[in-house]
Amino acid sequence: MTASLYTMSYFFPSVPSRIPIVYAALNVGAYFGRQAVVKEAGGTEIMRYKELAFFGAVLLTTLYAYSPSLRILSPLRPRFYFVVLGFFCILLSGFRGAFVGVCALFAISVWLHRGTRSFLITCTVGGLLALALAMGQGRLYNLPFSAQRALTFLPGHWDPVVVLDAEMSSQGRFDWWRHAIEEHQIKDWWFGDGFGATVSDLMVASQHGGEAMAEVTGSLHSGPLTAIRYVGIFGLVLFYAIAITAAVYACRCARQCKGTLLQPVAIYLAIQLVWFPVDYTLIFGAYNEDMPQVIFLVGLLRVVMRMAERVKSTSSSIPAHSPVIVSERQMLPSLN
């Protein structure tokens, strides 16, 4: 629903402002000026529906929880077309990190469901498919600019405008990180500067554009750096301890729920927590958003784990010779 509302603002920018309840759910940047359009010299533009990345990621993660093998790519199965829809949304968003993420989540789901051997086979086949898709660009077909941008880390004949846009995006991040370190934007590296910024810093940053404002408020597009900015190295170490412990616990929960009604939801949570430390460190992270997200996922995982333990204790208490048939759905306890 959220992705639909966001996307509507690109095609009908006047509609959301007339419906207050809908406008409140929209990104202001999407409403004013369609921020996803990057205009280059000569009138060439890259249309990126960035908000579709979240819809595509959730859809694919749900499918992975139920279909843990390459059979999900069979056109004879209805789920295949939902997979195509999910990847189509990811490519339209133009996010390289989102594309890498959904591929990694699928490999992790296979590992949790079927073990290391299937994981290696999936990585090999998936890598070949992605490489074939990239190599066909410019030779057999021409992908939309947003899709090309999401795949620019692979070898292919990409449009120069797309390559320039991707390189500028990466260089912008590197500049932010260098400025944060060289210009001592982080005053207390051990315990952090806390959330927010001083009024004087905000007034100065407002005169230099959005990038300066992002640097002042700590939005550095780097998980470790944002954590150090807010809570310091000490807080970063604690956060990694929580994230790694959550990943290990998620694997244990997935094994505990294997073969039960709770298996899909356990896998759904586990693949996100297992991938999170890598994604947070190497691709994209924001401590102020990711910390509550991890806590929420762990809370859901605890609920699933307790339900699994009750299901196991209930099933073990039923005598083997008992004629009573109890379904798994009946064994799930009430959450009241």
Range with lowest mean pLDDT among 26-40, 60-74, 103-117, 180-194: 26-40
Q: How confident is the model at residue 186 (pLDDT cuts 50, 70, 90)?
A: confident
Give the span between the Cα atoms of 25 and 15, in whole angstroms: 13
pLDDT of residue 203: 74
State mean pLDDT over 265-280: 95
Q: Are 15 and 94 in the same domain?
A: no
Residues 20 and 118 in one domain: no
pTM: 0.82
Same domain, 197 and 271: yes
Q: Are residues 306 and 281 in the same domain?
A: yes
Residues 126 and 73 in one domain: yes
Regarding whether 247 and 188 lie in a shared domain, the answer is yes
State the pLDDT confidence band at 232, using cuts at 50, 70 and 90: very high
Answer yes or no: is 129 within a domain: yes
- Inform me whether the pLDDT recorded for 39 exceeds 50: no
Q: Are 67 and 80 in contact (CB under 8 A)?
A: no
Residues 80 and 133 in one domain: yes
Mean pLDDT calculated for residue range 183-194: 85
pLDDT bin (cut points 50, 70, 90) of residue 45 is low
**208 found inside a domain:** yes
**Collapsing DSSP states into helix, strand and coil, what is residue 136?**
helix
Looking at residue 22, its pLDDT comes to: 58
- A 10 A CB-CB count for 274 gives 23
Spatial CB neighbours of 51, under 8 Å, sequence gap ≥ 6: 2, 3, 6, 7, 27, 30, 93
Both 297 and 199 in a single domain?
A: yes
Instruction: Give dist(CA 300, CA 307) in Å, integer.
Output: 11
Q: What is the DSSP letter of 45?
A: E
Domain that holds residue 118: 49-169
* Judgement on whether residues 101 and 198 belong to the same structural domain of the protein: no
How many domains are contained in the chain?
3
Tens digits of residue pLDDT in 153-170: 998 889 998 999 889 888
Looking at the fold, whether 152 and 239 belong to one and the same domain comes out as: no
> Which residues of the chain form beta strands (DSSP E)?
37-39, 45-47
| Residues 274-308 pLDDT 10s | 999 999 999 988 898 899 999 999 999 999 999 98
Q: Residue 111 — very low, low, confident or very high, per pLDDT cuts 50/70/90?
A: very high
Both 72 and 141 in one domain: the answer is yes
What is the chain's mean pLDDT, rounded?
Answer: 81
Would you say residue 139 lies in a domain? yes
Average pLDDT over every residue of 196-211? 70
Residue range 70-81: mean pLDDT, rounded: 82
- Residue 285 and residue 172: Cα distance in Å, rounded? 15
Residue 99 pLDDT grade (very low, low, confident, very high; cuts 50, 70, 90): very high
Q: How many CB atoms lie within 10 A of CB 84?
A: 12
Query: What percent of the chain has a predicted confidence (pLDDT) above 70?
Result: 79
Q: What phi and psi values does residue 71 have, to the nearest 5 degrees? A: -65, -15
Whether the pLDDT of residue 332 is over 60: the answer is: no
Would residue 40 count as lying in a domain?
no
Chain position carrying tokens 């059979």: 71
Are residues 195 and 158 both part of a single domain?
Answer: no
39, with CB counted inside 10 A (0-12, 13-18, 19+), is exposed
**Residue 17, C-beta contacts closer than 8 angstroms, at least 6 positions apart:** 23, 31
Q: For residue 307, what are its two tokens?
A: 């339900």
